[in-house]
Amino acid sequence: MAKVTEEQVREALTDVIDPEIGLNVVDLGLVYRCEVDDDGVVEVDMTLTAIGCPLGDQIVSQAKQAIERLEGVKEARVRLVWSPPWRPEMMSERARMLLGF
Q: What is the CATH number of domain 6-95?
A: 3.30.300.130
Q: Tens digits of per-residue pLDDT, 66-78?
A: 999 999 999 999 9
Q: Where are the domains of the chain?
A: 6-95
Q: Tens digits of per-residue pLDDT, 77-95?
A: 999 999 999 999 999 999 9
Q: Tens digits of per-residue pLDDT, 7-64?
A: 999 999 999 999 999 999 999 999 999 999 999 999 999 999 999 888 999 999 999 9
| CA–CA gap between residue 22 and residue 41 (Å, rounded) | 29
Exposed/middle/buried for 82, CB within 10 Å: 0-12, 13-18, 19+? exposed
What does pTM read for this prediction?
A: 0.93
Q: Which residues contact 31 (CB under 8 A, 6 or more apart)?
A: 10, 13, 25, 44, 45, 46
| CA–CA gap between residue 16 and residue 19 (Å, rounded) | 9
